[in-house]
A and B are shown apart, each in its own frame.
Chain A
Amino acid sequence: MTVLLATDATYRLLPFRFMRLDESDRGLLLTAETGEYLFLSEAQLDQLVNRRLPRHTPLYKDLLARHFIYEIDGHDPLPEMAAQYRSRKSFLFGGPALHLFVVTLRCNHTCQYCQVSRAPLGGSGHDLSAEHARHAVDRLFESPSPVLTVEFQGGEPLLAFDRVRQIVEAVQARNSEERRSIRFVISSTLHHLDEQVLDFAQEHDIHFSTSLDGPAFLHDANRPTPERDAHARTLDGIRRVRERLGHEAVSALTTLAARSLEYPEAIIDEYVEQQFDSISLRPLSPYGFAHSSRQRLDYPMARYVAFYKQALAYLITLNGQGIRLSEGYASLLLTHILTPFASGYVDLRSPAGAGIGALVYNYDGGVYPSDEARMLLEMGEAGLRLGSVEQPLETLLRSPVMGLLLSAGIAEGLPGCADCAFVPYCGADPIEHYARQSDPVGHRAFSAFCQKNMALLQHLFRLLRDGDDLTQRVLLSWLARRRLADLPVPGYRG
């Protein structure tokens, strides 16, 4: 195909993508390779690509400033574009920063949607050994990242608290020489908290993450215990952690089963009542018992998206009334859209975060590139194991599994994604595609991952384009992690 490039125009195109949001006169979303964006009409896009844009118009200046065009004899934008691109991909430079230790698969809950395929409370052979834990700490410090997060997962990690203690003490002893910035988090039901655990957590500045699926009738239905008091005991655990360690020492997230989708306001009201300042409305995943029970629990992604939009609208209303509660996924998408910085969320990156950004040291001594990869092990799929915890990190990251994940984990090169206007803000998830479609690349038209992110990004962009002043300010407050009342008001005061 012969392409005739106009040589008498004052500007040239820089790489960009476009998407049709709707038929309005700002219905075309253009996104630059650096992640900047603009809304145009079809006529304006036609003018742009055919070199007929009048030079001194506001649109021309916006396109120039946001790196959609450059002037042939003007400022060279490529070095600053490279700097922006580097910021956006900065997670590539530090090595794995998130290290998950699965200290046990045992748990006393019987959650219907359990992703990890928990083991019975009295089961054997499902605990991380002391020797494997020692090796895992060695692997942790082979990562060059100056900032490390050590997250304890299960099952229920507090059932193997001695192992948690061993690992924390070993990490901190080693860190007296290494001098990294290390954060500890325990993902727990909080039902096995005692003073010993709280004393240790206070001494070592350990935070907690727990599940709160909404009010008692929803939480207890999703997460049954023999005593049928899961919700009450979780709230008690939250209270105890806050009393001893501070209000910010515990966070919570929801898992949405099919019935949850009928109650967006009730779920949000529960988080308001429990005085959280962030809620994560995450859909069911295709792992563990959620997969085997999908006939009963699962739902089409379109239904989740409808729930999410309703929940987001309610959250914006509440924030306008002075209640501070942000939605976690919206906040990270806004970081991707409105800043050139990476969000730190390993599941929405390109190249994919599995292995590069996170490592999982499983109870069986195996090392996996993500939490989801070790969940697949319990479903009979062991093919995503990087190796043994006794092997050096360099060997683990040179595993053929990493080659497979990276070859399917760069969204800019994947079919469908390569053309998508949202690719600067989205990511690749070869493990989810492998779990759902038995193919790490997957077909975008049938991808739940794509459907979710496409719908949520479209919704956020429409809010950014059309939202009223309150909506814009609430979204900005989530991005800035500040109270709405603390956001500066543009223009002259008084």
Chain B
Amino acid sequence: MPWSFTLSLDETTYPLGVVQRTVYALADRLTCLVAQQPGRVSLEVMPLLLAGEGAPSAETARALLYRNLNDFALRERIRLETQGLCEWLARTALKEAGL
């Protein structure tokens, strides 16, 4: 019987976009159902059926999820703090191409 568990996450710490990017990144190993409640995002997690014997254990999956959630939350923080700079760079660098 494949394992499953549910994480209930504080949406302030892990906004929906962060959760979605985490789920996307781990899609080759885990199947996740994402649901929103007021102030919370819940993840129902189970191993990807296609992963077969390469599927992680529940303990490994939990560690993998939290590490990736924290990493994507940090990436989102960096993105917000540097917002606009990437677009400025591309616009300035490529303006001679009419872009």
Contact = CB atoms under 8 A, between A and B. Distances in A.
A45 B75 CA distance: 12
Interface string A376-407: 00000000000000000000000000000000
Contacts of B21: 415, 419
Contacts of B99: 92
A216 interface: no
A17 interface: yes
Interface stretch (B1-9, B38-46, B77-85): B77-85
Interface in B6-56: 12, 15, 21, 24-28
B27 A445 contact: yes
A173 interface: no
B26 A78 contact: no
A228 interface: no
A13 B78 contact: yes
A14 B85 contact: yes
A85 B96 CA distance: 13
Contacts of B92: 78-79, 82, 85
B20 to A, nearest CB: 9
B94 A15 contact: no
Interface residues of B, number: 30
B65 to A, nearest CB: 14
Nearest to B99: A92
B51 to A, nearest CB: 11
Contact of B24 (A5, A83, A93, A416): A416
A12 B12 CA distance: 24
A445 B28 CA distance: 5
A201 to B, nearest CB: 36
B75 A18 contact: yes
Interface string B53-68: 0000000000000010
A49 B78 contact: yes
Contact of A445 (B15, B25, B78, B90): B25
B28 A78 contact: no
Given A86-B94, A93-B96, A1 B12 contact: yes
A416 B82 CA distance: 19
A82 B86 CA distance: 10
A1 B15 contact: yes
Nearest to B91: A82
Contacts of B72: 419
Contacts of B85: 14-15, 33, 78
Interface centre among B67, B86, B93 (most CB of A within 10 A): B93
Contacts of A13: 78, 81-82
A89 B77 contact: no
Nearest to B74: A49
A185 interface: no
Interface string A1-29: 10101000000111111101000000000
A20 B75 CA distance: 13
Contact of A85 (B25, B75, B80, B93): B93
Nearest to A20: B71
Contacts of B79: 15
A446 interface: yes
Nearest to B48: A445
B80 A83 contact: no
Contacts of A443: 24, 27
Contacts of A303: none
Contacts of A17: 75
10 nearest A-B pairs in the assembled complex, by CB-CB distance: A86-B93, A445-B28, A85-B93, A445-B27, A82-B92, A15-B82, A82-B93, A3-B80, A15-B86, A92-B97
Interface of A: 1, 3, 5, 12-18, 20, 33-34, 45, 49, 78-79, 81-83, 85-86, 89, 92-93, 412, 415-416, 419, 443-446
Given A15-B82, A18-B75, 9 more contacts: A1-B15, A5-B81, A49-B78, A83-B93, A85-B89, A92-B97, A419-B75, A445-B24, A445-B26
26 contacts: A3-B81, A14-B82, A15-B82, A15-B85, A16-B78, A33-B89, A34-B89, A45-B74, A49-B77, A81-B89, A82-B89, A82-B92, A85-B89, A85-B90, A86-B93, A86-B96, A89-B93, A93-B97, A416-B24, A419-B21, A419-B72, A419-B75, A445-B25, A445-B26, A445-B27, A446-B27
